[in-house]
Amino acid sequence: MLDIRETFYVGHTSDGSLKKRPMSPHLQVYKPIPSMSLSILNRITGAALSFGSAIMVAWLASAAKGPKSFKKVQKVTGSFPGQLVLFGFSASFFLHFIRGIRHLVWDSTAKRLEKEEINQDSKIDIVSISALTLGLWTIIIGKKLGKKKK
């Protein structure tokens, strides 16, 4: 008896005859490299940004509703778990933003497409994303500390 999975590996050639297609390699076959990890993260952060945008809309709606409602939302976003979510949201934003710029450069110039260049640029992306996220949060925390001193 044939393995049922083999039926999924059958394709047709241009003349209509049947041909066995190669099985797609799984993630376990490849050694993780920065560009592969960032590509996967780019998809995940796209979903995270959708969730984070809903939080931003709730925050804006609470501000429009009035001070009492806004204070409730500020209490949630000001808590440690809320701050972690906001940190993740900002990191997701910067990752998606930097990767979007990279794809724009690829699409408009068709340069930096060799494997070595892609892996070099991925390392630059990681540094850029980290610097932007930490820079933003340094400003946010600095402003909070400045308000407490007054």
137-146 contacts: CB < 8 A, separation 24 or more?
Answer: 137/87, 137/90
Q: What is the pLDDT of residue 64?
A: 96
For the chain, what is the domain count?
1
Q: What is the pLDDT of residue 85?
A: 93
Q: 19 CB contacts (<8 Å, ≥6 apart)?
A: 10, 11, 12, 13
CATH number at residue 54: 1.20.1300.10
pTM over 0.85, yes/no: no
Is residue 76 included in any domain, yes or no?
Answer: yes
For 138, the domain range is 31-149
Is residue 15 included in any domain, yes or no?
Answer: no
Model confidence at 12: pLDDT above 50: yes
Q: What is the pLDDT of residue 1?
A: 46
Average pLDDT of 98-105? 93
